[in-house]
């Protein structure tokens, strides 16, 4: 019986009111750390994590971070799953500042893909968006409860 691969461990440590440490511990033991400005990066990274987890994506930011490149190597995606994910994460990040209606959000983003002359990803549906919003809200609650100097750990993919 084949063994399950080890997950990528993401450790977010609250350093100050403005900064946190992003630490990626890869299955092979390699560790990468960055001190990041929380206001700019945390929301975006948590939305990525929530969406990629709910949609079962493995070739977007966190999947690639665990299997391929370093944080700085991933850059702005130009094709495939990673590009489609980025095109959803940005609008979802903005939508999370208010109330998100998953059916409407999925429909509007699917129309956006078609306007670009592309086929919307099959995972872009109300159930995935609703799950991502729920997962994001839970992670955001955990982060708010994390004291300075403490770490919140996330495993990707989360089902491992």
Domain span at residue 139 reads 8-156
pLDDT band, very low/low/confident/very high, at 1 (cuts 50, 70, 90): low
Angstrom distance (rounded) from CA 19 to CA 79: 31
Is residue 1 assigned to a domain? no
pLDDT band, very low/low/confident/very high, at 74 (cuts 50, 70, 90): confident
pTM: 0.93
Is residue 3 assigned to a domain? no
Which residues pair with residue 31 across a beta bridge?
Answer: 25
Q: Is the pLDDT of residue 160 over 70?
A: no
Is residue 90 assigned to a domain? yes
Is residue 86 assigned to a domain? yes
Place of tokens 């939508």: 95
Phi–psi pair at 154, nearest 5 degrees: -125, 140
Q: What is the pLDDT of residues 17-68, one digit of tens each?
A: 999 999 999 988 889 999 999 999 999 999 999 999 999 999 999 999 988 7
Task: Specify the number of domains making up the chain.
Answer: 1
Q: Which of 58-72, 77-91, 141-155 holds the top average pLDDT?
A: 141-155
Is residue 2 assigned to a domain? no
Is residue 101 assigned to a domain? yes
Listing DSSP states for 10-74 in one string gives EEEEE-SSSEEEEEEE-TTS-EEEEEEEHHHHHHHHHHHHHHHHHHT-SSSHHHHHHHT--HHHH
Q: What is the pLDDT of residues 90-123, one digit of tens each?
A: 999 999 988 889 999 999 999 999 999 999 999 9
């Amino acid at each position: 019986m084949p063994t399950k691969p080890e997950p990528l461990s993401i450790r977010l440590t609250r350093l100050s009111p403005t900064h946190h440490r992003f630490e990626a511990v890869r299955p092979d033991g390699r560790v990468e750390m960055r001190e990041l400005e929380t206001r700019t990066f945390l929301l975006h990274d948590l939305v990525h994590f929530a969406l990629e987890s709910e949609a079962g994506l493995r070739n977007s930011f966190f999947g690639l971070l665990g299997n391929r490149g370093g944080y700085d190597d991933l850059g702005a995606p130009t094709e495939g799953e990673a590009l489609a994910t980025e095109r959803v994460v940005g609008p979802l990040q903005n939508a999370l500042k208010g109330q998100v209606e998953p059916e409407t959000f999925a429909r509007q983003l699917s129309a956006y893909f078609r306007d670009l002359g592309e086929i919307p990803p099959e995972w872009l549906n109300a159930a995935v968006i609703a799950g991502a919003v729920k997962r994001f809200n839970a992670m955001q609650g955990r982060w708010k409860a994390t004291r300075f100097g403490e770490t919140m750990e996330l495993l990707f993919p989360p089902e491992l």
